[in-house]
């Protein structure tokens, strides 16, 4: 018997990212939004349970093999499940600062400087029209900044995502209202660069 997917618990308290990301947002974001994506992904795959043998990441990498009648649901709910799990993981309390070691060197090589990378990433996050995500990904041997709509993942494009920022209104509206750019700036204070470096070392 294969088991359905499980929403991973937050790796820190709901209030751990204060004052940058508030407790009320974290509660509803993890316990309601993320849980709903996982639940809906499981319900969608209920009659296609061989897919539970794959990881949700592998599913997103192979969307073209998902039956056509459920492909859009799997893309949306699977993306929602995987993206949020990664989002919790690449943030941490008392974090921020700058990337280190090989990741720092790669950012300087591919963007010119850390500051240029930051500007490009903020620009992607601020200009994503409507709901979506901004990303730092590794694709074709180099780091790139990209943005996706809805819950689409760079995994489905064959890219390896390293860092992501949720720019759906549910991610910031309680605290930042219409000021998405303030939320995007505040995000740098909670980026867990050690976790991002670990991901980079695994795939580069």
Q: How far is the CB of 157 from Mn ion (least distance, A)?
A: 20
Binding mask 167-196 for Mn ion (x = CB under 5 A): -x--x-------------------------
Consult the annotation and say whether 159 binds a ligand. Answer: no
Calpha distance 135→82 (Å, rounded): 14
> By C-beta, is 151 or 200 nearer to Mn ion?
151
> By C-beta, is 146 or 166 nearer to Mn ion?
166
Of 109, 117, 110, nearest in space to 134 by CA: 117
Q: What is the DSSP string of 136-193?
A: EEEETTEEEEEEEETT--GGGGT-EEEEEEE-SGGGTHHHHTT-HHHHHHHHGGGB-H
Contact 121, 99 (CB under 8 A): no
Q: How does strand 160-166 pair with strand 132-139?
A: antiparallel
Q: How far is the CB of 84 from Mn ion (least distance, A)?
A: 6
166 binds Mn ion (CB under 5 A): yes
Q: Which helix (H) or strand (E) holds 101?
A: helix 101-111
CB atoms within 10 A of CB 175: 18
Relative orientation angle of helices 79-89 and 35-44, to the nearest 10 degrees: 150
Consult the annotation and say whether 170 binds a ligand. Answer: yes
Consult the annotation and say whether 166 binds a ligand. Answer: yes
Scan residues 145-164 and list those touching Mn ion (CB under 5 A).
Answer: none
Binding mask 38-77 for Mn ion (x = CB under 5 A): ----------------------------------------
Consult the annotation and say whether 48 binds a ligand. Answer: no
> By C-beta, is 187 or 200 nearer to Mn ion?
187
> By C-beta, is 91 or 107 nearer to Mn ion?
91
Annotated binding site for Mn(2+): 29, 84, 166, 170
| Residues that bind Mn ion in the complex, under the rule CB under 5 A | 166, 168, 171
């Amino acid at each position: 018997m294969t088991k359905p997917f499980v929403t991973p618990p937050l790796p820190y308290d709901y209030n751990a990212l204060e004052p940058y990301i508030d407790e009320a947002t974290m509660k509803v974001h993890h316990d309601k939004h993320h849980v709903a994506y996982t639940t809906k992904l499981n319900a969608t795959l209920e009659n296609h349970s061989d897919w539970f043998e794959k990881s949700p990441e592998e599913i997103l990498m192979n969307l073209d093999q998902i039956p056509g009648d459920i492909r859009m649901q799997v893309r949306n709910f699977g993306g929602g499940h995987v993206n949020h799990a990664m989002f919790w993981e690449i943030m941490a309390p008392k974090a921020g600062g700058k990337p280190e070691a090989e990741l720092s060197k790669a950012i300087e090589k591919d963007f010119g400087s850390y500051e240029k990378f930051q500007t490009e990433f903020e620009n992607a996050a601020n200009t994503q029209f409507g709901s979506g995500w901004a990303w730092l990904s590794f694709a074709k041997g180099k780091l790139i900044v990209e943005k996706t709509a809805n819950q689409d993942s760079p995994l489905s494009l064959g890219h390896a995502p390293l860092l992501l920022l949720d720019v759906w209104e549910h991610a910031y509206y309680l605290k930042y209202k219409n000021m998405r750019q303030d939320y995007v700036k505040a995000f740098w204070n909670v980026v867990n660069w050690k976790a991002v470096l670990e991901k980079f070392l695994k795939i580069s």
